[in-house]
Structure 1
Amino acid sequence: MKTLTSHKQVIWFDDTLIDESTVKHAFEPEFWHAQNKVLGSAQGRGTTWFVQTDNLPAALRHYHRGGLFGKLVKDHYWFSQWHQTRSCEEFQLLQHLVKAGVNVPQPIAARAVKRTVCYQADILTQKIEGAEDLVGILQKHSLQREIYVLIGEQIRQLHQANVNHTDLNIHNILLDKHNKVWIIDFDKCHIEPELGETNLAVWQKSNLDRLLRSFQKELTKRHIHWAEQDWAALEMGYHK
């Protein structure tokens, strides 16, 4: 990880994926528009821009608050230290997971900009080509049992890397055209200490319970093609 520090701004980046001259401008959508390298966009709390870097397609995301407080303070966070900004933490967490062999987007660059006592943040990560989240897929058709086993295996790998995904839901699990399972959206997630438990830790069970509730919620809300036996197959993959 390389670092660029300037007046009230720090950029962290992987110089094997993006060069220093590009990364200085990489967090401004206008930069990519001017080069005709915008591939598309998606709406969530804000706009995620999909752009073509020199090395790989990428997703550019500005950090926005959610919930009731997010309606009052859209994109500012209390500043304490640079390495504790959400962009830096997510960048380093993704690096940890890539090294551990978990299927997550490669982190390309992250930025934090100090605004008096607060900061704003952005992150640029690999765009998983040809991938769709489980919600979109399950609205169209059911999945084979073997896919749920693969999903369970990938979550197990995530947990073996001691990463607590505090918002594990079926919007954050993708399948690409080769049925490879990817896990995304690690904002506010963190590495848990290694306690050497032989049984399922509280945080691991909490992740799985949250994911199960997500399946059940979308079954009612969006009428996805899912049944309880699919969860049993996912658990089988997790406990293999």
Structure 2
Amino acid sequence: MKTFEKGKLRVWYDEALLSVPPEQCFDVGFWQQQERIVGQASGRGTTWFIQLDNVQGALRHYRRGGLFGKLVRDHYLFCQWDKTRSYQEFQILNHLRQAGVNVPRPIAARAVKKHVCYQADLITEKVPNARDLVTILQENTLRDEMYVKIGREIRKMHDAQVNHTDLNIHNILIDDRERVWIIDFDKCGVDFSQDWKSGNIQRLLRSFKKEQSKHNIFFSEHSWQLLVSGYLPQVKE
């Protein structure tokens, strides 16, 4: 990881993936001038998909949600640079990749200090040819072995001691090679206690049930038991 420092700006980046000046890579106008915007997605804000030299990146500006987010859209209280949300998510993704978990490669993270607050942005690799579980399950059922794979990937994340505080089926992707990916690690962290892990799993179950009620996704108790069987430690004979 390289660091670019200038005044109240910090950018942390992977120089193997980013060949443009780090101070410019979060400027959507810059990418538009280069004709490298290849798509966008709307959620809490707009995620811009940009064509880098060898991969596609997803550029996201950090925004608050909920009622407080209507009052303070995108400012966070500054404590120190390595406590900013962009830096921490960048580091969590690197940690998980080193642990063998399928998560997007972090490309660059930015924090800009504004008085006692800061604003933040992140560029990660866009997972190629992948769709989230909600989209997939609205169309068809998943094969049994895919639920087992999902459970195993979550187990790998938990074995790396990462608490995904928003583990839901929007944040689980499957690509065209049937690999399972986990995304969106904002506000997540390494936690060496154990009591949060069952809460993660129960949150995921609630997500399945919510989307089953809301979007009539294909899901059953049998599907859940398969996922749990993949998550549980394998007993060696």
**Aligned-residue CA RMSD in angstroms?**
0.8
Is 2:130 the partner of 1:131?
yes
Match in the other structure for 2:63: 64
CA distance in 2 between counterparts of 1:22 and 1:178 reads: 33
2:129 is matched by which residue type in structure 1? G
Is 2:196 the partner of 1:203?
yes
* Paired residue secondary structure (1:54): coil
Match in the other structure for 2:94: 95
Match in the other structure for 1:198: none
Match in the other structure for 1:236: 229
**Aligned positions of 1:126-205 closer than 5 A:** 126-193=125-192, 201-205=194-198
Match in the other structure for 2:14: 14
CA distance in 2 between counterparts of 1:101 and 1:168 reads: 18
* Paired residue secondary structure (1:24): coil
**Is there any run of 5+ residues in structure 1 with no aligned partner, and where?**
196-200
* Paired residue secondary structure (2:57): strand
1:126 is matched by which residue type in structure 2? E
CA distance in 2 between counterparts of 1:169 and 1:101 reads: 20
| Equivalent of residue 226 in structure 1, options 213, 219, 230 | 219
CA distance in 2 between counterparts of 1:39 and 1:209 reads: 37
Shift, 1:39, TM fit: 1.0
**Is there any run of 5+ residues in structure 2 with no aligned partner, and where?**
none
Deviations 1:143-179 (CA, angstroms, capped at 9, x unpaired):
0110000000000000010000000000000000111
Report sequence identity in percent.
56
Shift, 1:54, TM fit: 1.1
Shift, 1:15, TM fit: 1.1
Shift, 1:7, TM fit: 1.1
Shift, 1:142, TM fit: 0.8
- After superposing on structure 2, the runs of 4+ consecutive aligned residues of structure 1 that deviate more than 4 Å are none
CA distance in 1 between counterparts of 2:198 and 2:14 reads: 33
CA distance in 1 between counterparts of 2:22 and 2:51 reads: 13
CA distance in 2 between counterparts of 1:45 and 1:22 reads: 27
- TM-score, reference length from structure 1: 0.96
Matched-pair contact (CA < 8 Å) for 1:18–1:55 = no
